[in-house]
Structure 1
Amino acid sequence: MKNSIKFSAIAVCMAATLPLTGYADPGGANDRVYTLSNNPDQNEVLVFERYGNGHMEPAGSYPTGGVGTGSGLGNQGALALSNNKRYLFAVNAGSNDVSVFRIGRDGLTLVDRVAEKGLTPVSVTVSHDRVYVVNSGDDSIFGYAFNHYTGKLKPLPNSYRKLSADGSSPAQISFDRDAETLVVTEKATNKITSFSLNDDGIPRQRHVIDSAGVTPFGFSFGKRERFFVSEAQAGAVNGATVSAYQLLEDGTAQLIDGAVAVDQTAACWLVTTPNGKLAFTADTPANAISAFAIDRSGHLSLLNSKAAEEIRPTDLAMAPDGTVLYTLSGGDQSIGIYRVNRKSGSLNKLDSFDDLPAGVTGLVVQ
């Protein structure tokens, strides 16, 4: 019975595929928004431009050279940007490889596509000259060396490592801010696994802790090596939670706060603002975006359990300056655009784009 409850929660998240007072002006430089079609015949990066008034328009589609799966991956982080924002990385879950695009003024140029040792990559993370993916097909991580000049990837010897157990159902992988540790959330085992890295970027030790809440899913690093995790809590009605962790020098994670109630069902995706003071979760079956405040010690407090309403939201992304939140919704294949009040955490909808293909995954903003 326990296993059926656990995997039903995972299925919920997988299937759900002008200044005003107190607001920062999202005008000025436009954002460029990327998502991944995850098409099983031809995977593509879909690009959008967001203008100063909040309106967003398509700006092209670019084949990755690989294929997707056509359905939800139960993941966060299918796309990632390089530190200098000149390259975009995309997972091809159906062909077991990773694509690299150079970002130019006129669009994207595919510069590399490299096979990987694991099966079914679902999330990718980048830090300077290192790239890692986590694989749901064989519960593993795998790494590459990245050349900033050519955009090419080269597999890192001895970087293939297993997660805590078979059938772990990983959701996301991310470097910490110092690129000394990798963190992975495991939905099915209710574990958070971290890998300490040596100077060559190779995992030297694996650390595993129990998640504070059931079904840990998406997460985001804030300030001072703290990270914040959404927990679907096995899909229990109004049972979703969020927890805060401190990453220690030895690569282990220590609980700061949690599990803190969201008052919604199945919080699966989470992002933080660049200043580390706010966190937002996408609560798929509740059709809700929830908002949290983060204090200086890393503790969480719920600001609004339904700061915005979206039909089965399936990912989130924050503008680099923290003024605009983007939501990906599997229920109506749309991207929502919200102005963020950085004092109160309230959201004001600016626009939406409603013509995405089914199965899209991943959301990043440049």
Structure 2
Amino acid sequence: MRQKRVIALVFAAATMLAATGQATADGRSHHWDIDHARAVFVQTNKPKSAGGNTIRVFKRADNGRLKAAGEFKTGGNGGAVAGAPTDALASQGSLVYDGRLLFAVNAGSNTITLFRVRGTELERLQVIRSGGLLPVGIAVHHGLVYVLNAGGDGAVQGFRLGHDRLHRIAGAHRSLDLGNPERPNFLRSPAQVGVDPHGRFVLVTTKTNDTVLAFRVGHGGRLARRPVSTADSNGPFAFTFDTRRTLLLVGAVTNTLTRHRLDRGGSLRQIGAPVPNGQQASCWIQRVGNFYYVANTASSTVSSYRVKNGKPVLLNGTAATIPGGGTIDMTASGRFLYVQNATAGNVQGYAVNGDGSLRLVTTATGLPRFANGIGMEGIAAS
């Protein structure tokens, strides 16, 4: 009797393992595979007239290749700033993946969408007002979420994440005092919101206002009433951190990368001279391991950098040349860099070699092309 019971338990366990770890006859994976698949997410930013904003999902293979895996509605509409040549939102961070959650902006309906991610499947959890006009960027840090609104004066709105829901934080709505119209020109709109690794400051870049604003984060995610402002004449666009207190900032006017130390008061102190890459309209930045890649939208190239002896060093001004023009946002998954090309309507994936050079491994096509001032923008990866 005991032996029969053991056999039955083994059979049940084997049946469960088969159901959760194997593919069905039609090729669709069951729960275990879905949860553990790596994916690249692309925001189409489609307006209401085209059916509304959606997220296209691509499954990433171990060799970096992408395969279409579905499309999911955000419940909002895409939008655009005015006059952008290839990048409708003119920002970095409009689609953010963090800990099995995906955050998307709906610029045309002044909302943001929260999804739960299970591999290549998205479950829409919430659509909530962004706290301003024309949301273009999101930053997530340890359960705090800050949304960058580009329209009008511009604003940052803070949210607390709890039980997979976003809750507005009283005392975390701050104007940027940009004095723009409801739909700002792309040069006048803010470019990125981010939180420093210590969680002490929320940073915002303002492009041709030539400033980086730092709002101190207080109790419960509240923000200081006034930011600390650091002037930067390079046209500050996107940034990332290379150490706990050191920031790498892309200059879209001078096509440079500069390194800055964020002091305890919120000011940025430049370290060394700006490092040019010889390209045009340098805007987005993505870190992969010890290397940093900058997308140059006007020349449709990607430049590669590395930090040596405390200073950024240009490795290759044209580490990749993207056919079709319109290189914009980027993301990384493992040792692969994925570059969004709005004009061509595709995403190209590159393997990052040991010396920082790039090798093309995949091209995902069939995405919306930039036309009439609007197109896809926003890319993230698990």
Given the two structures, how large is their TM-score scaled by the length of structure 2? Answer: 0.81
1:34 corresponding residue in structure 2: 41
Kindly state the Cα deviation for residue 169 of structure 1 after the two structures are TM-superposed.
1.3
1:3 corresponding residue in structure 2: none
Change (3 A) 1:328 1:146: same
Q: What is the alpha-carbon distance in structure 2 between the residues aligned to residue 35 and residue 295 of structure 1?
A: 33
Q: What is the alpha-carbon distance in structure 2 between the residues aligned to residue 242 and residue 212 of structure 1?
A: 12
2:167 corresponding residue in structure 1: 154
1:208 corresponding residue in structure 2: 229
Q: What is the alpha-carbon distance in structure 2 between the residues aligned to residue 293 and residue 144 of structure 1?
A: 34
Listed one character per residue, the Cα deviations across residues 279-322 of structure 1 (whole Å, up to 9, x for unaligned) are 1111111121000111252x111110000011320111122x4x
Kindly state the Cα deviation for residue 30 of structure 1 after the two structures are TM-superposed.
5.6
1:229 corresponding residue in structure 2: 249
1:289 corresponding residue in structure 2: 302
- Contact 2:38–2:120 under 8 Å retained in 1: no
Listed one character per residue, the Cα deviations across residues 106-157 of structure 1 (whole Å, up to 9, x for unaligned) are 601111111132111000011122110111103111111111x3x1111111
Q: What is the alpha-carbon distance in structure 1 between the residues aligned to residue 266 and residue 125 of structure 2?
A: 33
- Contact 2:39–2:120 under 8 Å retained in 1: no
Q: Is 1:108–2:119 an aligned residue pair? A: no
Change (3 A) 1:165 1:49: same
- Contact 1:212–1:258 under 8 Å retained in 2: no
- Compare the two structures and name the one with the higher helix fraction: 2
2:344 corresponding residue in structure 1: 332
Q: Is 1:364–2:380 an aligned residue pair? A: yes
Q: Which amino acid aligns with 1:231?
A: G
For structure 1, which segment, 252-261 or 283-292, has the greater mean C-alpha deviation from structure 2 after superposition? 252-261
1:194 corresponding residue in structure 2: 214
Kindly state the Cα deviation for residue 203 of structure 1 after the two structures are TM-superposed.
0.9
Listed one character per residue, the Cα deviations across residues 5-52 of structure 1 (whole Å, up to 9, x for unaligned) are xxxxxxxxxxxxxxxxxxxxxxxx863101111111111111111112
- Contact 1:217–1:268 under 8 Å retained in 2: yes
- Contact 1:315–1:362 under 8 Å retained in 2: yes
Matches within 5 A, 1:13-32: 31-32=38-39
Give the paired residue count: 322
Given the two structures, how large is their TM-score scaled by the length of structure 1? Answer: 0.84
- Contact 2:342–2:368 under 8 Å retained in 1: no
Matches within 5 A, 1:35-50: 35-41=42-48, 42-50=52-60
**SS at structure 2 position matched to 1:303:** strand
Kindly state the Cα deviation for residue 69 of structure 1 after the two structures are TM-superposed.
1.3
1:90 corresponding residue in structure 2: 104
Listed one character per residue, the Cα deviations across residues 139-191 of structure 1 (whole Å, up to 9, x for unaligned) are 111111111x3x11111112111225323410110111122211111112011
User: Given the alignment, which residue of 141, 144, 153 partners 2:156?
Assistant: 141
- Contact 2:37–2:119 under 8 Å retained in 1: no
Change (3 A) 1:105 1:340: closer
Matches within 5 A, 1:244-323: 244-274=259-289, 277-297=290-310, 299-310=311-322, 311-319=325-333, 321=334, 323=335
Q: Which amino acid aligns with 1:110?
A: R
Q: Which amino acid aligns with 2:93?
A: G
Structure 2 unaligned segments of length 5 or more: list them: 1-35, 81-86, 181-187, 370-374
- Contact 2:70–2:120 under 8 Å retained in 1: no
Overall identity of the aligned pairs, in %: 29
**SS at structure 1 position matched to 2:128:** strand
**SS at structure 2 position matched to 1:200:** helix
Q: Which amino acid aligns with 1:302?
A: L
User: Given the alignment, which residue of 45, 53, 70 partners 2:63?
Assistant: 53
Listed one character per residue, the Cα deviations across residues 256-300 of structure 1 (whole Å, up to 9, x for unaligned) are 2342111111101111224xx321111111121000111252x11
Aligned-pair Cα RMSD in Å: 1.6
**SS at structure 2 position matched to 1:203:** coil
- Contact 1:55–1:351 under 8 Å retained in 2: yes
Q: Max radius of gyration: which structure?
A: 2
Q: Which amino acid aligns with 1:208?
A: S
**SS at structure 2 position matched to 1:75:** coil
Q: What is the alpha-carbon distance in structure 1 between the residues aligned to residue 42 and residue 195 of structure 2?
A: 21
Q: What is the alpha-carbon distance in structure 2 between the residues aligned to residue 199 and residue 295 of structure 1?
A: 37
